[in-house]
Amino acid sequence: MNKPRVLVKSCNEVPKVALNLLKSKYNVTAIESHCHARKEILEVIPEHDALFLPLPHTKVDKEFLNTAGPNLKVIATLSVGYDHLDLAEIKKRGIKVGYSPCASSVAVAEIAIALILSAARRAHEGRLKLESGDVRRTFQWMVGYDLRGSTVGIVGFGNIGKAIFKRLQGFEVGQFLYTGHSRKEDGDDLGAKFVSLDELLEKSDFIVVATPLNSETFEMFCYESFAKMKKNAVFVNVGRGKVVKTNDLVKALKNNTIFAAGLDVTDPEPLPIDHELLKLTNAVILPHLGSATVKTREDMAMIAAQNIINGLEGKPLPYPL
């Protein structure tokens, strides 16, 4: 009996431990593909039983699935976000699909903390002043804002939101607020207060976004949202770039409607090198490094590999969508 065939996109991006596990069980077609080289994948996907996607650059839509044909039984993405997958179309065809929701929570939370501190304490602006020789020793030069005694609002109190909350415990934060679809029992247990989005925006000194991208969250942060925030507010996004209207954020930062922003995700992504956001001294921007640690990427890959194994063996996926 022939072994099932698994297509692994961008195999050099996949940690060896996960790739070797798949190779020990299946016939693996490992291809190198540029991030957006969809044509390359469509040429080889037919007759494969499973698809392993390291990063969410490949849109799996009706055209993709039509090309893949009836053999495709399982799709596994290493990402937490899944807006690149047409779930309705995938499920209509009876294809199992899994993602990696928990493995990256700690690493993304750590990036959120780094951005909070860097934006509040003007790290990027300070570096620019150092490079230009504009260092002063006056008492009020380059003062920023404390986490101590502040109000932190978390938008999206899922695995990442809770991990951020836990890592902020040692900073003597005055109050934690969170918002989302509904009040969460474990949020109450942790000591965070559930509020409306408007109340969170109005009361928070730090607004941290850890929400996925969907029809409800798309461009939910516009200039009207920023105008509701405090003048000293620090806005941090580790969710998805498209939850923010980028031009409106640029305007809010330029006008000092808010104090600063820290972004690991942007729209567009990556930002063009001449983009307005990159010219702002009060914006700390990373090129989507949230889950980019050795351990986290290995954990994500192993979860995706196990999703494929369970799917092909007719068992429940560890992390289904």
Annotated catalytic residue: which of 34, 36, 124, 288? Answer: 288
DSSP designation for 4 = P
SS3 letters across the chain: CCCCEEEEECHHHCCHHHHHHHHCCCEEEEECCCCCCHHHHHHHCCCCCEEEECCCCCCECHHHHHHHCCCCCEEEECCCCCCCECHHHHHHCCCEEECCCCCCHHHHHHHHHHHHHHHHCCHHHHHHHHHHCCCCCCCCCCCCCCCCCCEEEEECCCHHHHHHHHHCHHHCCCEEEEECCCCCHHHHHHCCEECCHHHHHHHCCEEEECCCCCCCCCCCECHHHHHHCCCCCEEEECCCHHHECHHHHHHHHHCCCCCEEEECCCCCCCCCCCCHHHHCCCEEECCCCCCCCHHHHHHHHHHHHHHHHHHHCCCCCCCEC
Report the distance separating Cα 311 and Cα 172, nearest Å.
45
288 is catalytic: yes
Active-site residues, by number, are 288
